[in-house]
Structures are given as C-alpha cells and as structure tokens.
C-alpha cells in the first residue's frame, strides 16, 4: 500500500439535495483527506470529454445529460490506498446493490443519480485529477 490520490465528484443529485457536507464527513471519518475541491457546473462538452471512455455505452447520453444538469463538486482525495478505499466507501454503481452504510446505499437515488464518482485505477485517477486540477491547486 502507498499514499494515493483519487478523483471524486459529488454529482448533481448531491448538490441538489444539499448533502455535500454529509458526504465529505464520511470521507474524512474514513481517513480520506480532501486536498483539492471546487464546485463547478460542467458544460455538456466537458461531461462528454470526462466520460469519453463510456462513449459507446448505451447510458452515455443520459450520463452526460445528468452530469451537466446542475452543479457538481470535484475533489482530489488522498490517503493510503485511496483509490480502492474510496470505491469501497462509495458502494456499487447501482445503489440497490450497494453495501449497507456506503454513500450510494445511504444517498443514491438510482443507477443514474448515484451521488458520487470515484476513479477506478491509478491510471484513471491521474488522468481524472489532471482533468480538473493544476498541481498548484492540490494542497496535500
Ligand atoms: P462507476 O461510477 O461505479 O465507476 P461506471 O464507470 O461503470 O460506474 O459508469 C459511470 C456512470 O454511468 C455510473 O456511475 C452511472 O451513473 C452510469 N451508469 C453506469 N451503468 C449504467 C447503467 N447500466 N444504466 C444507467 N447508468 C449507468
Ligand atoms: Mg467508473
């Protein structure tokens, strides 16, 4: 294990319900440090570029529509094993399948409106953090 950084997004359903602080508290209680954070309203083009890896999936259009439907909070999180740790804390993609106590089990509304995004590998974490943050905006 080593100190890692991962990209987290609090999705539009989280900002709409004013629960970003509750979610940040869960990260911090689990030892994830928020080392960069910004609230942004993604354009559709930005959402499409961020999720380009999913461009051939049937849900791509709806995903990009949703992610550009309201403000999001983009964050870099840091801890030992941060990438896998955040995926565990987030829970399964479908909130109905997410383990009890996970963010998606607690707050997710549907497979589309599932409250949080988290990087899934070291490679995507580096790419996704660089998508939103300059090195000088990350204060570990
Ligand atoms: P995760 O966010 O858990 O890494 P994916 O990377 O597979 O999941 O998918 C990205 C996002 O696309 C998901 O968080 C979810 O909002 C949406 N999504 C994934 N699969 C589906 C699906 N079958 N139907 C609708 N939306 C989906
Ligand atoms: Mg993913």
Segment 88-139, tens digit of pLDDT: 999 999 999 999 999 999 999 999 999 999 999 999 999 999 999 999 999 9
> Do the Cβ atoms of 12 and 71 come closer than 8 Å?
yes
Give the pLDDT confidence score for residue 89 in this predicted structure: 98
Query: Span 33-58, mean pLDDT?
Result: 98
Q: Distances from the Cα of 62 to the Cαs of 51, 102, 112, in angstroms?
A: 11, 24, 8
Q: Tell me the two tokens of residue 5.
A: 């950084």
**Residue 38 pLDDT exceeds 90:** yes
Give the pLDDT confidence score for residue 44 in this predicted structure: 98
Measured CA to CA, the distance from residue 39 to residue 81 in angstroms comes to 25
Task: Count Cβ atoms below 10 Å from residue 119 Cβ, excluding itself.
Answer: 24
Tell me phi and psi for residue 40, to 5 degrees.
-140, 155
* Distance from the alpha carbon of residue 61 to the mean position of ligand 2, in angstroms: 15
| pTM score, whole prediction | 0.98
Give the pLDDT confidence score for residue 69 in this predicted structure: 98
- Check 66, 117, 125, 128 and give the catalytic one: 117
* Distance from the alpha carbon of residue 33 to the mean position of ligand 2, in angstroms: 21
**Residue 1 pLDDT exceeds 80:** no
Non-local CB neighbours of 28 within 8 Å, separated by 6+ positions = 34
């Amino acid at each position: 294990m080593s100190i890692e950084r991962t990209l987290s997004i609090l999705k539009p359903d989280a900002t709409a319900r004013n629960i970003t602080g509750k979610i940040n508290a869960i990260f911090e209680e689990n030892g994830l440090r928020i080392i960069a954070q910004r609230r942004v309203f993604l354009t559709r083009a930005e959402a499409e570029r961020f999720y380009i890896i999913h461009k051939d999936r049937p849900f791509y259009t709806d995903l990009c529509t949703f992610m550009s439907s309201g403000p999001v909070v983009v964050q870099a999180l840091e801890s030992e094993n941060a990438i896998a740790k955040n995926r565990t804390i987030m829970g399964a993609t479908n909130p109905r399948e997410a383990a009890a106590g996970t963010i998606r089990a607690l707050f997710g509304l549907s497979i589309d409106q599932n409250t949080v995004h988290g990087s899934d590998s070291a490679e995507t974490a580096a790419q996704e953090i660089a998508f939103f943050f300059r090195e000088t905006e990350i204060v570990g």
